[in-house]
Structure 1
Amino acid sequence: MRIGFILTKTPSEEGFCTFIKFIKVYIDKEDINVYLLTNGVYCAKRKHLHSDLIQKLLKNCRIFAYLPDLTARGISENQLINGIQVIDSYDEIIVDIMEEMDQILSF
């Protein structure tokens, strides 16, 4: 099963902790994509409190950050955790979520 997680919370918000709890349930069993949108793009940045955890997730899932949200928050691509993919088309995200994912969880 292909599962998509939409994360719109910063690493310091309670929703991020909930996301981590849920992804741990699925990480070894499913094909997972994580989409970092709005304030969720802060999770893509190196050297934050949970960046090591995000790096570990990359071993078992794909993580995408939305370029316009990165730009709006002053985060450049060279500040991102290695392995995070940047998507600059919102349409591409929507198509991937709607056509490729079997289940979506949003935090």
Structure 2
Amino acid sequence: MSGNAGVYILLALAFVAANLPFLFERILFVRRPAGGAKNFAWRLFELLLLYLLVGGLAHMLETRSHGGAYPQNWEFYATTLSLFVVFAYPGFIYRYLWHGNRRRTAAVQG
């Protein structure tokens, strides 16, 4: 596998991981919340946790491929966190704007 293919696979993995908190109702993908629906704070916590997980995987892959990781400053982490939040946008739209409107419309009609 070439270096470019690895980058694209890592970006695809980050895109999928960023959308997972908005697609599942279980807290940390294990426990169902007591109120029946997971609130937004849990989703943000899971988003941050998955960002750290994907970042750790990327760091491990860079260390293995180059023999060491290039040191990064805070700008790198601010940029990658922003990119991860942008990747989560489709899941946010599905959960709160598109999927939520269908529930409200069904409740009004029914």
Taking structure 2 as the reference length, the TM-score comes to: 0.27
Larger Rg: 2
Higher strand share: 1
Taking structure 1 as the reference length, the TM-score comes to: 0.27
Higher helix share: 2
